[in-house]
Structure 1
């Protein structure tokens, strides 16, 4: 019994250490967004670029989202208590959900400003230096994306992986802003507000994606293809005759798996327990799932 308890304790400590590691990625994003937001907003207003201003407000929402994720990661590290026997891992999901509403409100404001700029009778051609700022921002966010993407893959953090994808979208937004600003230099002043319009759409799209992902997780939704992949791995475990039932749900950045497997009715309790341990080991090794609850039932004669 003592080795079993030690193993569970080790898995729990590993989960919390991974969350702690994910904080580094959140801090890198926050630091980058703080600097780039200030540069873009100042340069955007100074060089008369609505696309760069919109890009700056986009990063402003990213600061809020990153801080929300950081707060969620901190709360997620609180140990289980009487009111939260499964821990506080879903705190980061709730924080991200709140951030999605903030992002959506800013995105709508950017869209309104861009539309007004399109119908502005006074043509304003942004300074070419604004494109340099946008290009520099794209490079910075590209490097942040690489860092967070590698870290997310290393520790298996879904939250940090989502943040990395947001970093990539920000880099692409800055590229679009640069294109719009450069195009305005060639007698196409409308291209700058059109780029701002595209930025606003991307902000709203990102907000929707985060909202959908969070609500899907909070309502215990789970990807069918991924569940099928888990079933295949379990079915290949030696001693498993059939999978009677399998369920999975997202708990913060972790997956909670419940499965009922049918085994030979002549197996001893010790052998059945070995099968359970093997399923847990396979889930950890192949799918990075630490929380697995396996229930074993005897296979009735005449059924397969």
Structure 2
């Protein structure tokens, strides 16, 4: 795993690029949406506005997560990323609700105009730009193991998908099926809502100390069993803490050894787990004696 400062610098670089791109895309889509009379493009533009907010949240949460442990936060501040990601999800859901309302009102009003050709061009530009941003962001997010950055990458992908929906709606409206433009705006809103819900579900699971994959538990179990003096391993608990994990487990050692020897075995377990797993932040080992006959 990257050092804290390098990790933040990588995240900051991606966030700045995303922010600049989203500002330009939001201005382009909203202004051209009004100019060309496209509800779908305007909805897509406000999706980019929500992207701007999410990128700022990601940038701030990554910075906060790198703050060292203190008296009030002895485990550190890594969960700031999960909190920031949760806020991002809420923004997406709220955006989706407002956009769906506007699209629905346009549909029932019956006052639907045919969008201009420029709306098609802008929608296509948005698809290409957002897909490139997704690929770049997801690569860096995985590299620095940032859940917030990975969530932001999927936000970019949802924007690309919503731009595809907008493109189809605009094209259909220009062919005479004008109802397709506000319908596309409604589809965009649904896509945004789904992404927000999925992100909220994932980060809430982390904040509630949900168990990671079984594969991770198996790795910790096998590593612990290789330590000399460990007879058995049980009750392995792992919880996410930002980009890293905190492990809590119980080992069984011989009841005939001294307390110091048991302590040394526990220290060996902790050292090996951390040295072989870059994503493990801390390990708490409980030592239990086996039955002595």
- Normalization by structure 2: what TM-score? 0.87
Moved more, 184-193 or 119-128: 119-128
Counterparts of residues 82-161 of structure 1 (less than 5 Å): 82-161=71-150
Name segments (4+ residues, structure 1) moved above 6 Å. none
Match of 2:174 in 1: 185
Q: What secondary structure does 2:9 align onto?
A: helix
Aligned equivalents of 1:41, 1:76: Cα separation in 2:
34
- The secondary structure found in structure 2 opposite 1:22 is helix
**Equivalent residues of 1:248, 1:258 under 8 A apart:** yes
| 3-state SS in 1 of match to 2:77 | coil
What SS class does the counterpart of residue 250 from structure 2 fall into? strand
1:78 aligns with 2:78: no
Q: How far off is 1:231 after superposition?
A: 2.1
Q: Determine whether 1:205 maps to 2:199.
A: no
Residue aligned with 2:168, SS: helix
Give the one of 227, 245, 262 matched to 2:252: 262
Q: In 1, Cα distance between the equivalents of 2:73 and 2:117?
A: 55
Matched with 1:8 is: none
C-alpha displacement at 1:33, in angstroms?
A: 0.9
Counterpart contact for 1:256–1:291, Cα < 8 Å: yes
Residue by residue over 1:98-142, the C-alpha shift from the partner in whole angstroms, topping out at 9 and shown as x without a partner, is: 333333222211111111121233341111221111111110111
Q: Which whole-Å deviations, capped at 9, do the CAs of 1:169-216 have from their partners, x for residues lacking one?
A: 111111111111111122211111111001111222222223323332
- Please name the residue that 2:272 is paired with: 278
| Change in 2 beyond 3 A, CA 1:172/1:230 | same
Structure 1 pair 208–14 and aligned structure 2 pair: CA distance change class (3 A): same
Q: What displacement does 1:256 show?
A: 2.1
1:19 corresponds in structure 2 to: 8
Q: Is the 8 A contact 1:51 1:196 kept in 2?
A: yes
> 1:54-69 to 2 correspondence within 5 Å?
54-69=43-58
- SS in structure 1 opposite 2:3? helix
Report if aligned partners of 1:22, 1:151 keep a CA contact under 8 Å in 2.
yes
The alignment status of 1:49 with 2:50, answered yes or no, reads no
Cα deviation 1:35-55 (Å, max 9, x = unaligned): 100000011110111100000
2:217 corresponds to: 231
Comparing 111-120 with 205-214, greater Cα deviation is found at 205-214
SS at match of 1:192: helix
- For 1:171 and 1:266, the matched residues in 2 are separated by 64
Distance 1:154 1:162 in 2: 14
CA RMSD of aligned residues (A): 2.4
The 1:30/1:55 distance shift into structure 2, 3 A limit, reads: same
Structure 1 unaligned regions, length at least 5: 1-10
Cα distance, 1:229 vs structure 2: 1.0
Report the more deviating stretch, 179-188 or 241-250.
Answer: 241-250
Task: Compute the displacement of 1:18 (Å).
Answer: 1.9
Distance, in Å, in 2 between the alignment partners of 1:104 and 1:42 is: 23
* Structure 2: gaps spanning 5 or more residues: none
How many residues in Structure 1 have an aligned counterpart in Structure 2? 285
| Alpha-carbon distance, 1:252 to partner | 2.6
1:207-247 per-residue CA deviation (whole Å, 9 max, x = no partner) reads 22233233322222234xx1x21221123221354321121
| Residue 299 of structure 1: how far off its partner (Å) | 5.6
